[in-house]
Amino acid sequence: MTSKYFTPETRHRRLRKTAALRDLVRETHLTPNDLILPLFVDEDITEKQAISSMPNVFRHPEKDLPQFLKECRSSGVNNFILFGVSYNKDDEGRDSMKKGGLLHRMISSAKDTLPDSNIIADVCFCEYTDHGHCGPIAEDGDVDNDATIENIAQQSIIAADAGADIIAPSGMMDGQVASIRAGLDENGFEQIPVLAYAAKFASTYYGPFRDAAGCALGKYDHVAKDRKSYQMDPANAHESLREAEQDLLEGADMLMVKPGLAYLDILHRVKQAFQVPTFAYNVSGEYAMLKAAHANGWLDYETTMMETLLSFKRAGADGILTYSAVDAARILNDN
Ligand SMILES: [Zn+2]
């Protein structure tokens, strides 16, 4: 029927009428190549261990890493970022700066298992320091920036030596990308790209990850109780552009924004401003919220998750780090 009050000339609904039409005019596409799976490798367990706040995410024993990676690969995931759960912690995280340490072992194992996949080394110290901060502590109780960037270059050389395809520094220290780039170049790794966590915010959405990776703060009285002196203030958008620009000037090849959902405006601005490969981290708290809503029957996990990942791409992400990578790859490959 036609309304006696108004007849629209423009009818947007024409192109939404059938599934085939919707498929034809869709602007944004998600593919398995867009997915990067973060995973936790625990050097002190023999059976995989559930993480209570992240249903269906596990800490994996080192010995099971090859098998788990093969399973993920056969589901269609081809990009992995590894996080160590260390029991050899000290004030600087020295275990991660030496051959034979957990970082070196897990990257070697992953690369040997999947030589044709992208094995990304997250380089930072919070998983390897006894105080849980992202670098050694200065006398004032805060992280010592310049000591950290010297160490993180060493850690990056170790990761590259183990076979890492991409080095991803996440500590938000000033000058860390330049220090890493110089260290890699001096050691014959000039072809290894750097994916900089350019805009990483001091977010409470990381809570479940901190449990998973065993790097909560608060163990020592003289040490800062949060990461607000190095991670960014969630209120700041212009500053994220300055951070991203600086990382590119220092030699970063790719950029990351973290967290994801509450920071899609930052992702969009960074992509628009620099047009370099830009990634978003769909963090543990975002995963936990969705799983909790699903468990209560309030939201459907799969459809909401796929809509979420698509929204990252629409905002400008070239890829997404997500704990849902295997689920998403399976869904994409089934369709
Ligand atoms: Zn860190």
Residue 187 C-alpha from the chain's centroid: 26
Cα separation of 49 and 308, whole Å? 27
Terminal-to-terminal C-alpha distance of the chain: 37
Q: In 3D, which of 198, 197, 227 has the Cα closest to residue 132?
A: 227
Q: Which domain holds residue 112?
A: 30-334
12 occurs within a structural domain: no
Which residue among the candidates 89, 258, 271, 291 is catalytic per the annotation? 258
Give distance in angstroms: CA of 172 to centre of ligand 1: 8
Which pLDDT score is estimated for 335?
80
22 occurs within a structural domain: no
15 occurs within a structural domain: no
157 occurs within a structural domain: yes
At 183 the three-state DSSP class reads helix
Give distance in angstroms: CA of 249 to centre of ligand 1: 22
Give distance in angstroms: CA of 133 to centre of ligand 1: 6
Which pLDDT score is estimated for 216?
79
Cα separation of 335 and 328, whole Å? 11
Q: In 3D, which of 136, 210, 120 has the Cα closest to residue 173?
A: 136
Token pair of 328 as six digits: 């998403």
Give distance in angstroms: CA of 134 to centre of ligand 1: 4
Which pLDDT score is estimated for 2?
87
Give distance in angstroms: CA of 22 to centre of ligand 1: 42
pLDDT beneath 70, residues of the chain:
none
User: How many structural domains is the chain composed of?
Assistant: 1
Token pair of 9 as six digits: 């000339």
25 occurs within a structural domain: no
Q: In 3D, which of 172, 165, 166 has the Cα closest to residue 195?
A: 166
Which pLDDT score is estimated for 212?
79
The H or E element spanning position 38 is strand 35-42
Which residue among the candidates 111, 200, 271, 313 is catalytic per the annotation? 200
> Which runs of consecutive H residues, i.e. helices, occur in 172-320?
176-186, 207-213, 238-249, 264-274, 284-295, 301-315
Cα separation of 237 and 149, whole Å? 25
- pLDDT digits over 166-202, tens only? 999 999 999 999 999 999 999 999 999 999 999 999 9
Q: Tell me, what CATH number does 315's domain have?
A: 3.20.20.70
258 as an active site residue: the answer is: yes
98 as an active site residue: the answer is: no
Which pLDDT score is estimated for 214?
76
Give distance in angstroms: CA of 170 to centre of ligand 1: 6
- Is the Cα torsion angle 104, 107, 110, 115 positive or negative in sign? negative
Could you tell me the pTM of the whole model? 0.96
Which pLDDT score is estimated for 280?
98
142 occurs within a structural domain: yes
Cβ burial of 40 (10 Å; 0-12, 13-18, 19+) is: buried
Cα separation of 203 and 235, whole Å? 11
114 occurs within a structural domain: yes
296 occurs within a structural domain: yes
Which pLDDT score is estimated for 217?
85
- pLDDT digits over 205-236, tens only? 998 888 777 777 878 888 898 999 999 999 99
